[in-house]
Amino acid sequence: MQTTKGLKLADILITIVISIVFGIVYKLWGPFYYFVKPFGFHLDQLIYGMWFIAATVAFLIIRKPGIALLAEIAASSSEFVTGSEWGLEVLIYGVVQGLFAELAFAAFRYKRFDVFVVSLAAIGSTIGSLIMDYYKGYIEALAPWNLTLFFVARFVGAILISGVFASSLVKALEATGVTQMVRSASKEDYDQLDR
Amino acid sequence: MRWNISYRETWLHRTNPSLKLLVMLALFVAVLFVHNPNVLMNFSLGFLLLFFLYTGYPLKYLLLFFVPFFVIFVSTASSMTMFGEGTTTWFQWGLVHVTKESFLRGMHLGFRALSFALLGLLFSLTTRPVYLFYSLMQQLKLKPKYAYSFLAGIRLLPIMLEEFQTVRNALKVRGADAERGLNTKLKRYAIPLLSQSIRRAQRIAVAMEAKRFSNQTNRTFYYQIGFSKYDVIFLLIIIGITALACYTGIVLPYIPVTDVR
């Protein structure tokens, strides 16, 4: 089975199943986002980070190249298929956010899985979403104080939700033993055998 | 998503799914570069017509689907209207500062969000996921291991929902659902749901690999999806709407503003 190049069917299916779970969360997050929005002062941006979580959680579980991108695409397409308020937009946002999260993991050659790297991936996704917003929403035309608030809220929210919360979620999952089944053997595992 | 609502099949349902997806994505990108509110208004109006006439669903459901999009329209438009920059002040109250420029920009954003939503809804209401993934494999050469994983994933959805109910009931019986913070509560649901899904996915993947679902060479497909005259009709109508929207938007504008930036 190791002879196939790239991701195996098992990796892909597990990523997609995880992403579908998050895709439903993404979908439900939409009405919540619009519930928070009228409170003003960009409080809604604090919860925006939830839309990046599929990439980080899936990568932390499977730990292979390409997983973050695939997870974010799969999550956004299942959000799209279940009838997102944003329609097609979520697909493109998903691709861009996944790509930037993937870049963060690639920067450490897919060798680090701590809170720092995951937060970096969350920041990456945030940058991706901001690039899309720049083209879509003329955000640069907001008043400066408002724009600063917008940026800070989105970055902080992303780090808290898709960085810190995601890694604590996967830690709890590791305790169930299910991650052992899906990860490929690490170098430490081989060292254990050699001993 | 499969709705249990009866609908009549229109030419939109019979268009090749890959073609439809590509055209919709192209339109999405095109709309990003439209800065003339008149053109955008006509464009959304054209797609609104397609939505109400040719998705084949009963009117009351169409109206129901449309409600969240209207909310999006209002909330997207209002944020820019109230906090955007501009020179011609209409209204000022504390931090809220409505100007002519920000109002027009806000309306433009509202229509943009509306047209994105319509593009997406037109696609998802008229495309069956199974056909979409078969078409992606045949026309766009998506690797079967990705396509079949998506299809298997979709099939797992009802099981996940059932499991969610089970977890909820189990927590209720133990009196564990009312205590502690949001973090604990989230994890109580997420951990069992995720771990069970991963285990199930792993088992299914092994079975699918054994049955050569990941095989790429010499594949045959249960559904053969190709092109038909409906694809020509689809392309013609989309081009027609877009061209008409641009033409009337420029020649017969509603408001004398051509660029909202």
Give per-residue pLDDT as tens, B148-186. 999 999 888 888 889 989 998 998 898 876 666 777 778
More confident call, A123 vs B109: A123
Residues B88, B167: one domain?
A: no
Residues B45, B150: one domain?
A: no
Residues B18, B75: one domain?
A: yes
Taking contacts as CB-CB distances below 8 angstroms, the residues of chain A near B152 are 13, 16
Contact A85 B24 (CB under 8 A): no
- Tell me if B138 is assigned to some domain: no
- Tell me if B258 is assigned to some domain: no
Which residues in chain A (113-132) have CB-CB distances under 8 A to chain B?
Answer: none
Contact B121 A81 (CB under 8 A): no
Residues B204, B231: one domain?
A: no
Taking contacts as CB-CB distances below 8 angstroms, the residues of chain A near B154 are 20, 78, 81
Model confidence at A181, pLDDT cuts 50, 70, 90, reads confident
Q: Which residues of B18-56 are buried (b: 16+ CB within 10 A; e: fewer)?
A: bbbbebbeebbeebeebbbbbbbbbbbbbbbebbeebbb
Say if residue A59's pLDDT is above 70.
Answer: yes
Residues B67, B187: one domain?
A: no
- Tell me if B80 is assigned to some domain: yes
**pLDDT value, residue A132:** 87
The two tokens of residue B189 are 């649901």
Say if residue A1's pLDDT is above 50.
Answer: no
Q: What angle do CA B9, B11, B17 make, to 5 degrees?
A: 95
Angle of helix B182-210 versus helix A9-36 axis, rounded to 10: 150
Report how many domains make up chain B. 2
Residue range of the domain that includes B168: 144-210
**pLDDT value, residue A40:** 65
Mean pLDDT is lowest, of A26-35, A37-46, A145-154, B246-255, for A37-46
Terminal C-alpha separation, chain A: 26
Report how far residue B137's alpha carbon sits from residue B148's, in angstroms, rounded to the nearest whole number: 9
**pLDDT value, residue B105:** 84
- Tell me if B177 is assigned to some domain: yes
Contact B85 A142 (CB under 8 A): yes
Taking contacts as CB-CB distances below 8 angstroms, the residues of chain A near B261 are 138, 141
**pLDDT value, residue A104:** 93
pLDDT, mean of residues B74-95: 74
Mean pLDDT is lowest, of A79-93, A146-160, B135-149, for A79-93
**Class of the CATH-defined domain A9-181:** mainly alpha
- Tell me if B219 is assigned to some domain: no
Arithmetic mean of pLDDT over chain B: 85
Residues B236, B117: one domain?
A: yes
- Tell me if B260 is assigned to some domain: no
| Per-residue model confidence as pLDDT tens digits over A70-82 | 999 999 988 887 7
Residues B118, B241: one domain?
A: yes
Residues B128, B243: one domain?
A: yes
Residue type present at position B80: M
Residues B195, B233: one domain?
A: no
Contact between A41 and A149 under an 8 Å Cβ cutoff? The reply is yes
Q: Radius of gyration (Cα) for chain B, nearest Å?
A: 24
B89 interface with A at CB cutoff 8 Å: no
pLDDT, mean of residues B63-68: 82
Q: In chain A, what percentage of residues exceed pLDDT 90?
A: 43
Which of B79, B92, B160, B185 to substitute to test the interface with A, most A CBs within 10 Å? B79
